[in-house]
Structure 1
């Protein structure tokens, strides 16, 4: 068996076992569901079987997945993004750093870590209508200015406000201001 076929058999074996067990099926129950001998299921799960396209289609239908997902490597649900790989935007001539913490582009959510040097500010970007922004201060204190009001957010505090409002973050303190900004699409009732 060539290397590509060995990999496909290995992926099929792992995925078949996981999907079958996730659905609380025995090999016999799955075999009955797809009208195949239990020994065929056992061979596929051990990586020694060579299924026909028709059998793959029956298995994928019974397990409610695609043939592609049966044959590809399992995807882990965790992704580690190293600090050196985190995208950073510099604003206010480099005195403010915005670390983009979500590796996935989600249209309804943003999470950023902001570091604002003492004496500097950053104009926030208004978000789409219907969003809500939550700013949590991790270190120092950051004043958030919007609509003629000022909110001093100290270490441990969280400020919630409509995301579409123009706002500015100001560090008028003597230490680096660090905060987390979470922007989410919110139901109208919030």
Structure 2
């Protein structure tokens, strides 16, 4: 809209409404100014959850907003006890990017050993686990729900 106005055009409400329908977006998306999409969570900050059965600590970095279906966690895991996870809702896929250390992760019977910089995707709707192989293991976990 701002580009049209800058070019000297002043579109009618009907024109904007027709454009919104054609683009498949809400009318308000064409007339409201955009909101900032930058969010910073500093290392060591953010809401965390801890396992009672292992050294697993997850920090929620981004909860799934309405209409989106993914959650992003920063995970710290220490050797000792594996983190066994029950199946999530049907269709869930987990994505892991290891930033430090080494971890064995994946569905039971299909685990893979991952090191810093490695990526893995696997079904999260079956029993799966994570086990740190080195102290200071860290990874980003993205849970994708369909």
Tell me the TM-score normalized by structure 1: 0.57
TM-align CA RMSD? 3.0
Q: 2:122 aligns with which of 161, 178, 184?
A: 161
For each residue in 1:75-133, what CA deviation from the matched residue of structure 2 results, as whole angstroms up to 9, or x when unmatched? 42323243376221111367221011114435521211110022232223422222321
Tell me the TM-score normalized by structure 2: 0.72
Q: 2:35 aligns with which of 61, 72, 76?
A: 76
CA contact (8 A) 1:86 1:101 kept: yes
CA contact (8 A) 1:113 1:181 kept: yes
Taking a change above 3 Å as real, the CA distance of residues 119 and 94 of structure 1, as seen in their structure-2 partners, is closer
Q: 2:98 aligns with which of 125, 137, 142?
A: 137
Instruction: Report the secondary structure of 2:87's partner residue.
Output: coil
Instruction: Report the secondary structure of 2:62's partner residue.
Output: coil
CA contact (8 A) 1:20 1:63 kept: no
| Runs (5+) with no aligned partner, structure 1 | 1-18, 35-57
Q: Is 1:109 aligned with 2:70?
A: yes
Point out the structure with the larger strand share: 2
Instruction: Report the secondary structure of 1:148's partner residue.
Output: coil
Larger Rg: 1
- Partners of 1:105 and 1:124 lie apart in 2 by 24
Taking a change above 3 Å as real, the CA distance of residues 167 and 104 of structure 1, as seen in their structure-2 partners, is closer
Q: 2:49 aligns with which of 72, 89, 104?
A: 89
Q: How many residues align?
A: 135
Point out the structure with the larger helix share: 1
Instruction: Report the secondary structure of 1:170's partner residue.
Output: strand
Taking a change above 3 Å as real, the CA distance of residues 142 and 154 of structure 1, as seen in their structure-2 partners, is same
- Partners of 1:104 and 1:156 lie apart in 2 by 25
Give the number of the structure with larger relative contact order, counting CA–CA contacts within 8 Å between residues 6 or more apart.
2
- Partners of 1:26 and 1:144 lie apart in 2 by 55
| Runs (5+) with no aligned partner, structure 2 | 18-26
- Partners of 1:145 and 1:104 lie apart in 2 by 22
Instruction: Report the secondary structure of 1:63's partner residue.
Output: helix
